[in-house]
Amino acid sequence: MSHFPDPRYAPGDVVAMGEDLRVPTLREAYRKGIFPWPHETVPLPWFSPRRRAVLLLDELHVGRSLRKAARRSTLAFTIDRDFRAVIRACAAAERPDQDGTWIHPNIITAYIRLHDAGDAHSIEAWQDGELAGGLYGVDAGGVFTGESMFHLAPNASKLALLHLADYLRTRGCRLIDCQVMTPHMRSLGAREISRGKFLDLLAEAQSSGVKLF
């Protein structure tokens, strides 16, 4: 039984409401281009934005300062080495443009379960054996949907994202789903496309059989 309507026909960005964060529900949502985003509302809203931010990997822009930081970096990068530490660090990260975090304990628990089921993944940046930054997201079936990132060392999360982009290219992935636009993602070349176009790209990736992890 489907939990969600076809987002193509939703009149707004919110396509459903409900507190069900079980693995099958989350998996269905992401594969339909839908994600939960806690706000100060009850029940939990599920979004499929009419304007979707995406980073097409062949349009990735790495500025001069970030290229220089990458050349000088001594960070080491891993995938899925410590998902739990990454999501908890993302929840604890200070975000001046936000009033607290949306990554509440129930979200952490739900995405750890999704990780254990093989759908959610983390990219870690390490400095001298200590976690220095990273990000996590969900494999929506050939498209990586980014959820959150953090850094404890300069550029650690940005370089972790570049590591992810390089990795995804080797797997045949064409884009990273950024969900909503941020200044950082725009600086890397992300752009907004219509919900319909995004859903077309998502369906194309799913039908191609691309395996990201």
- % of residues, the chain, pLDDT over 70: 96
User: pLDDT tens digit string along 48-59?
Assistant: 999 999 999 999
Is residue 40 predicted with pLDDT exceeding 80?
no
Residue 50 lies in a domain: no
The CA distance from 88 to 83, in Å, is 9
pLDDT in tens, 120-137: 999 999 999 999 999 999
Task: Examine residue 151 and state whether it is found in any structural domain, yes or no.
Answer: yes
* Whether the Cβ atoms of residue 140 and residue 30 lie closer than 8 Å to each other: yes
Domain membership of residue 200 (yes or no) is no
Residue 13 above 60 pLDDT? yes
Residue with more model confidence, 29 or 93: 29
pLDDT class for 98, splitting at 50, 70, 90?
low
Count up the domains in the chain and report the number: 1
CATH number for the domain harbouring residue 136: 3.40.630.70
Q: Does the residue 26 lie in any domain?
A: no
For residue 181, is it within any domain? no
Q: What is the mean pLDDT of residues 30-36?
A: 98
Q: Say yes or no to pLDDT of 158 above 90.
A: yes
User: Would you put residue 2 in left (φ > 0), alpha (ψ -120 to 50) or beta?
Assistant: beta
Look at residue 180 and tell me if it is in a domain: no
Query: 199 lies in a domain?
Result: no
* Domain interval for residue 75: 63-172
Q: Do the domain assignments include residue 68?
A: yes
